[in-house]
Amino acid sequence: AIKRLSTQWVLAAQNIDQKLEMRKRQRKKMLVHLGFLTEEAGDVFSPIVSKGGPLGELVQWADILATLYVLGHSLKISSTLRELQSFLGVPPGRGSCPLSGPLTFDLIYTDYHGLQQMKQHMGLSFKKYKCRIRVIDTFGTEPAYNFDDYANLRGYRTNWGHWNLNPKQYMTMFPHSPDNSFMGFVAEILNDTEKEAIQSSKISNMAVVYGKDPNMWKGKAKYLEVISRYMEIHG
């Protein structure tokens, strides 16, 4: 998709340059750690991509990488634990030792797997630098689940919450909550011919159901059947 839309990416970059012509922009050092692709996380995504897996998340990650590159930032990408340790300057061994030097990245984009890996290997430095982390979080994390003490007190503790980050550090695919930041994804700009083709084949009553796996719809046959009486269903 990035190659197919390469011309639009270039035009978008040129438009941003024109809009920000009078402003000074600092070239930041960025690390993008794809924790979900690491062997330690089980790499659950790759095997199911061709079977209706989480393509939306993968598309968003591709858009983030392309955007950071087009904006001119210095970009490092890691998808293994060894690469992460090397980029961060993690000392040998595995314990609570801080990093061997100052963190060289202005911002780190990662997921929950990467967040856990950084906490595990950055030692005492994790608390010092966690303000630089941005978590790509498809559906977002509400403050009640984010703040550990409150989550434990109210029974909201989950495997993915309790990180005590600023809620704005969670970046969502859709603008679910004003508590988090909306990252979004790239939408293609259609020309007039493409717009007309879509309009001519547009169905008036259509429903889209979202589910990564058929098991998510187990026991929901009647629910879908009712919708299908009134609308054409797409998955």
DSSP 89: T
pLDDT of residue 52 exceeding 80, the answer is: no
pLDDT score at 28? 96
**Of 55, 57, 48, the residue nearest 215 (C-alpha):** 48
Structure tokens at 7: 């011309």
pLDDT of residue 46 exceeding 70, the answer is: no
pLDDT score at 93? 63
Q: Helices 81-88 and 112-122 meet at what angle, rounded to 10?
A: 50
pLDDT of residue 219 exceeding 70, the answer is: yes
- For residues 40 and 107, what is the distance between their CA atoms, to the nearest angstrom? 23
Please give the mean pLDDT across all residues of the chain.
88
Q: 43, exposed or middle or buried, with CB in 10 Å at 0-12, 13-18, 19+?
A: middle
Q: Give the count of beta carbons closer than 10 Å to the beta carbon of residue 94.
A: 11
pTM, two decimals, is 0.84
